[in-house]
Structure 1
Amino acid sequence: MTAMTQPMLTPFGRRPGPLNTVVFHPAGGGLGQYVSLLSRLSRRGPVHGVRAMGLVPGEEPDRTVEAMAERCLGLIRELPVRPDLLVGWSLGGLLAWETGARLAEDGPAPAVVMIDSFAEPWSAYGSSRERLLDDILRGALVPLGPEAAEAAVRTAGAHLDACAVHHVTTRHQGPALLMPCAGPERGRQVADWRRRAPQLAVAPLDCGHFDVFGTGHTGTVLGHLDAFLDASVPVSGAHHPDPEGT
């Protein structure tokens, strides 16, 4: 499914279960990197994914994290059941956090899982913008036609610019998991989130930011996710292993 036909909020798992999950797009706006993640989460209950505004020609991307989070919140309000879990990688984890903080204003705080996300601007956003833009576009689905390609570049650029200036000011009282990747900023990254999340769990990843969903690392991500959910997110119902091991 391409952005040309995909709604902004898409169901990816309809299996009945005790856990209702929403997954948020990373920088670049698509959800293609999350295939294994969506499969694993759908074992536990319904899963929805949020793509970014701006991927369809004619759409304009949101240019601040606050605007993206408000848009995500509006989409989630349309769901028949309030989500228990918000998950995202990179910008997606930041959107999970900020959207969760807004949901907690009028109800229980959902659990949040952030895969190599930053509470304070990551230095690479400013110092290596063009390289990061290339990495994002290389990992995204191939756009259909020049208009879609232009929209993808414009959206990814808007996301990088938004991350480069965003400082998280909200706190989170519910369960939270951070999976920081290897790198010189990991210590600061973890400390920044700990100041904002009293219940923060940390499960490091021994890979780079853009290798998270590559061969040899996805299994580690999914293992950390399962361990966190089993230990920290109360659910009723059995965990049924996926026969394909995804």
Structure 2
Amino acid sequence: MIEPSVGSLVALRAEGDRLPLHCVHPVSGSPFCYSAMAHRLRDGQPVFGFEAPGFDGASEPLTSIRALAELHTASLRAARPHGPYQLLGWSLGGVVAYEMARMLAAEGEEVPLLVIVDAALPGTQSVPPDDELARYFLYDFLGVTRDRAPGVDKALAGVRPGAEPAEVFEAAEVHGAVPEEFDAEFLMERYALFRTHVVAMREHRLDAVHDGPAILIKAEDSVERLLDWSPYVSRLTVRTAPGDHHSVWQGAGLTAISAIVDQALGEATAG
């Protein structure tokens, strides 16, 4: 049995008496990527985030999507024993939020809003070799995509194929591809959690349909075929926001996501 941890719930915007929105961390394990959105929502809208075990550098990471969903569901119910519940998740967080919504519904709780932001279906991609995954981790850590990371690519140009992740991060540190406060040792610690989550995501399989209402927000530059959630959500609304998987949380993408979520929150609580 997974023990709940109310301490894993982080207040992104604590004030307000509206029905809270609970946001699930992406692959990094941190929910603070949602902070800017939280403060763009209507007055009185509380927003909380789930932090992944292992992000604190002390606890052990969980190795499956189901385990993450079970833990966060238990933590949510420890803090708020009964619904309705409103959930949101980006990337890996979207898959975990989806499984949480199914668990809550199976327990007889109401989930009037589930928002999945640019989450590729699990099991659609394989786990790359560690040197490639370490490079992708740096892209994710810096919030950029592969074709928009000249600093990372230049720094790693001399790294041999098949290099250990530690070599990749040392090259990134030496060549200034990451801010100087993040040394290779810190990157290696964060990478361990990142890799655990990537493997969990790639190994997970969806095995049922969520019957509640859900919104899929797709980044317009993302790969369409990886985002077809329609077989797994019976009441799915699809919206699009400008940007790619990471830049969708900046500028026009952030404005669009915030407006979509704000409208959905108003409609969900209205009826």
Q: What do residues 140-196 of structure 1 show as CA deviations (whole Å, max 9, x unaligned)?
A: 9x8878765443111111111111121222321211000112347314522xx1111
1:243 corresponds in structure 2 to: none
The amino acid of 2:246's aligned partner reads F
2:150 corresponds in structure 1 to: none
1:242 corresponds in structure 2 to: none
Correspondence 1:115 to 2:117: yes
**Residue 129 of structure 1: how far off its partner (Å):** 3.0
**Structure 1 gap ranges (5+):** 1-5, 237-246
Change in 2 beyond 3 A, CA 1:46/1:114 = same
2:68 corresponds in structure 1 to: 68
**Residue 198 of structure 1: how far off its partner (Å):** 1.5
C-alpha distance in 2 between matches for 1:179 and 1:103: 22
Give runs of aligned pairs for residues 42-61 of structure 1, distance below 5 A. Answer: 43-61=43-61
Correspondence 1:195 to 2:197: no
Correspondence 1:175 to 2:213: yes
**Structure 2 gap ranges (5+):** 1-5, 145-178
Give runs of aligned pairs for residues 125-136 of structure 1, distance below 5 A. Answer: 126=128, 129-136=133-140
Correspondence 1:103 to 2:138: no
- SS of residue in 2 equivalent to 1:218: helix
Q: TM-score, normalised by structure 1?
A: 0.80
- SS of residue in 2 equivalent to 1:199: strand
The amino acid of 1:215's aligned partner reads G
Q: What do residues 102-142 of structure 1 show as CA deviations (whole Å, max 9, x unaligned)?
A: 111122341210100123334376486334311222249x8
In terms of mean alpha carbon deviation, does 33-42 or 90-99 score higher? 33-42
How many residues matched?
228
Contact 1:26-1:88 at 8 Å conserved across structures: yes
The amino acid of 1:89's aligned partner reads W
C-alpha distance in 2 between matches for 1:204 and 1:73: 28
2:224 corresponds in structure 1 to: 186
Give runs of aligned pairs for residues 1-246 of structure 1, distance below 5 A. Answer: 7-41=7-41, 43-80=43-80, 81-110=82-111, 111-123=113-125, 126=128, 129-139=133-143, 149-183=187-221, 185-190=223-228, 193-231=229-267, 233-235=268-270
| Higher Rg of the two aligned structures | 2
C-alpha distance in 2 between matches for 1:69 and 1:113: 15
Identity %: 23
C-alpha distance in 2 between matches for 1:158 and 1:199: 31
- SS of residue in 2 equivalent to 1:22: strand
Q: TM-score, normalised by structure 2?
A: 0.73
C-alpha distance in 2 between matches for 1:124 and 1:53: 24
